[in-house]
């Protein structure tokens, strides 16, 4: 059993899979589940890196004991305090009462706040080290990837970065936990969705973390979610680098809120013109049907964004309103924005879209289209013109 959990050196995988929860953070769908990764370093001194969601404590404890038997754990290194990782902290402390918690100044306030735990602490600052015997660990503070206390732990001996949420992805680890033993196909899209949904607001913090990691000789990424990355670690770092710079691929997300399909016809007209103009990556999302988790992921993926809304109670269509709030929350940058609206007796959606456009600071492309009641030849021409303007803007970047 011990060898089957081994990653490198004396480092073992002791994480768990969650195929039960429907919504991560109560918000984000988990069609492929999610893993909560924890790592056990079975050295002269034993160290546990993060814990798991409390629902899986018994499985977790069994995995720990299968590696170290009755040996005590000397250190619990907390890279991140969000309860999907710290949830088992109290129970670990009950089973290993002499364990020393390793964290930074921000960590310990949360340890006490969430779990009422005080006692012996190993307080680290950026660049501090911990020698376990074979493995020599160095700590890097990476605040806001994804909370203020987040840090990463680098194993100098084997080049392993224990990266917390950094480089994470949704999706359970079915069978193998290392990319060398897994079909990783699902994880690329689930990585974009995870990043955009969970960490997406903190692009500049991720960029600062990447700068800190750049001088390190990383062989292996041990994140708290998703596979252990060895063979494909460079691709993972590149994805996180591009997403945290808000760099999009050529393509357009057209997202619209419609009640009876008239506003949808505007989206179709715009999309057809984009296609005629040579843009191949076009994704239409009916906001009623598609969960915002997936829409946000596509907005992170593509440079072009066109949003349409029917007028509803003299406001935006409610689900579009909610989506705009999620976009602004993530402080997204570097997008080309077009928009359109519709109304039956009083135009309001377009006015609210204009307010959003100003707040977003996105580059406005084309002339916004407002439609009264249903599609006319003139409205169709205006939609085509909007599609054409977006296509031309995207093609300037080729
Ligand atoms: Fe996976 Fe920010 O917790």
- The 10s digit of each residue's pLDDT in 236-261 is 999 999 999 999 999 999 999 999 99
Q: So what's the pLDDT on residue 119? A: 81
* CA 164–ligand 1 middle distance (angstroms): 7
* Cβ proximity of 15 and 37 under 8 Å: yes
3-state secondary structure of 199: helix
80 lines ligand 1 (CB under 6 A): yes
d(CA 239, CA 26): 26
* CA 21–ligand 1 middle distance (angstroms): 15
* CA 77–ligand 1 middle distance (angstroms): 15
165 lines ligand 1 (CB under 6 A): yes
82 lines ligand 1 (CB under 6 A): yes
pLDDT, mean of residues 350-376: 97
Q: Which helix (H) or strand (E) holds 397?
A: none
pLDDT at position 69 over 70:
yes
Nearest CA to ligand 1 atom 3: 82
For residues 373 and 120, which has the higher predicted lDDT (pLDDT)? 373
163 lines ligand 1 (CB under 6 A): no
* CA 201–ligand 1 middle distance (angstroms): 14
149 lines ligand 1 (CB under 6 A): no
85 lines ligand 1 (CB under 6 A): yes
* CA 397–ligand 1 middle distance (angstroms): 35
| Residue 68 CA, distance from chain mean position | 33
Please identify, by atom number, the ligand 1 atom nearest to the C-alpha of residue 199: 2
pTM (2 d.p.)? 0.96
Which residue from 77, 35, 72 is spatially nearest to 56, judged by alpha carbons? 35
84 lines ligand 1 (CB under 6 A): yes
pLDDT at position 304 over 90:
yes
Q: So what's the pLDDT on residue 2? A: 60
* CA 51–ligand 1 middle distance (angstroms): 11
Q: So what's the pLDDT on residue 127? A: 98
What token pair was written down for 217?
A: 């000789």
Which residue from 167, 102, 87 is spatially nearest to 141, judged by alpha carbons? 102
d(CA 26, CA 168): 18
Q: What is the mean pLDDT of the chain?
A: 97
pLDDT, mean of residues 351-363: 97
- Tens-place pLDDT, residues 309-322: 999 999 999 999 99
* CA 84–ligand 1 middle distance (angstroms): 6
167 lines ligand 1 (CB under 6 A): no
Q: So what's the pLDDT on residue 1? A: 58
142 lines ligand 1 (CB under 6 A): no
Neighbours of 112 (CB within 10 A): 12
Residue with tokens 């843009």: 279
């Amino acid at each position: 059993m011990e060898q089957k959990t081994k990653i490198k050196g004396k480092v073992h995988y002791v994480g768990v899979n969650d195929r039960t929860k429907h919504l991560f953070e109560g918000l984000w769908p988990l069609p492929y589940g999610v893993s909560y990764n924890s790592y056990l370093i079975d050295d002269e001194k034993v160290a546990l890196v993060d814990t798991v969601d409390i629902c899986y404590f018994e499985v977790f404890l069994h995995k720990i004991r299968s590696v170290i038997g009755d040996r005590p754990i000397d250190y619990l290194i907390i890279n991140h305090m969000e309860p999907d990782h710290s949830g088992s902290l109290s129970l670990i402390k009950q089973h290993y009462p002499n364990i020393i918690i390793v964290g930074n100044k921000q960590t310990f306030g949360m340890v006490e706040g969430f779990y009422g735990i005080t006692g012996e602490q190993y307080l680290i600052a950026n660049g501090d080290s911990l020698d376990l015997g074979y493995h020599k660990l160095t700590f890097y503070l990476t605040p806001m990837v994804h909370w203020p206390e987040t840090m990463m732990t680098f194993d100098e001996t084997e080049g392993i970065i224990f990266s917390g949420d950094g480089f994470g992805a949704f999706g359970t680890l079915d069978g193998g936990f290392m990319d060398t033993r897994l079909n990783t196909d699902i994880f690329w899209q689930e990585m974009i969705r995870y990043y955009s949904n969970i960490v997406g607001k903190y692009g500049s913090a991720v960029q600062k973390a990447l700068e800190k990691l750049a001088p390190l000789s990383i062989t292996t990424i041990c994140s708290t979610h998703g596979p252990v990355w060895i063979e494909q670690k460079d691709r993972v770092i590149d994805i996180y680098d591009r997403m945290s710079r808000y760099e999009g691929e050529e393509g357009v997300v057209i997202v619209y809120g419609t009640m009876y399909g008239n506003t949808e016809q505007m989206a179709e007209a715009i999309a057809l013109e984009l296609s005629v103009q040579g843009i191949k990556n076009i994704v239409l999302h009916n906001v009623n049907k598609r969960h915002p988790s997936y829409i946000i992921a596509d907005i992170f993926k593509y440079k072009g964004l066109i949003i349409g809304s029917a007028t509803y109670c003299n406001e935006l269509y409610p689900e579009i309103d909610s989506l705009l709030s999620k976009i602004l929350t993530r402080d997204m940058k570097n997008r080309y924005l077009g928009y359109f609206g519709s109304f039956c007796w009083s135009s309001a959606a377009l006015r609210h879209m204009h307010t959003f456009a100003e707040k977003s600071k996105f580059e406005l492309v084309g002339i916004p289209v407002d439609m009264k009641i249903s599609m006319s030849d003139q409205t169709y021409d205006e939609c085509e013109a909007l599609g054409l303007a977006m296509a031309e803007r995207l093609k300037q970047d080729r």
